[in-house]
């Protein structure tokens, strides 16, 4: 009797998110934020979507302030950022080819931007905003329940 075996390793991305920003500002001041997305998994992450929405109407995005850096390289011009008054979002796709830009294992995607605190904002208040990240383990649109893209 002959036997053979093989070990199969399942690899998956695992993105972690950290966010920092100015913690003490006055009404009317700009507020600088930084969001870092690191792939601590075992495979590249694809179809990465980053969104940051301000939970407070006293914060507004400074238009054109979003900067996207992947592994130390500024890729802002290659990505379409959708700006709204209360935040922004983007999918990490090349805006020329439409191809997904993966976040490789061990690499960090850094996003910086500036918001403006309304001049009439109440003092000594807390103003929150929330960054979210979604991603897939394979490039392209995810499969539906029937296995179709």
pLDDT tens series, the chain, 149 aa? 888 888 888 889 999 999 999 888 889 999 999 999 999 999 999 999 999 998 888 899 999 999 999 999 999 999 999 998 789 999 999 999 989 999 999 999 999 999 999 999 888 778 788 899 999 988 876 555 555 54
Rounded to whole angstroms, the Cα distance separating 51 from 19 reads 12
């Amino acid at each position: 009797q002959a036997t053979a075996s093989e070990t199969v390793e399942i690899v998956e991305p695992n993105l972690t998110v950290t966010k920092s920003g100015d913690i003490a500002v006055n009404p009317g001041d700009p507020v600088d934020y930084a969001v870092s997305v690191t792939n601590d998994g075992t495979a590249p992450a694809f179809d990465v979507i980053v969104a940051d929405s301000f939970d407070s109407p006293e914060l507004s995005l400074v238009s054109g302030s979003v900067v996207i850096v992947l592994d130390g390289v500024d890729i802002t011009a290659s990505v379409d950022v959708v700006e709204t008054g209360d935040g922004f979002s983007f999918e990490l796709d090349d805006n020329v080819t439409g191809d997904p830009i993966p976040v490789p294992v061990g690499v960090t995607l850094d996003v910086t931007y500036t918001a403006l605190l309304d001049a009439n904002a109440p003092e000594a208040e807390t103003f929150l905003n929330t960054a979210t990240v979604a991603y897939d383990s394979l490039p392209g649109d995810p499969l539906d329940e029937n296995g179709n893209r």
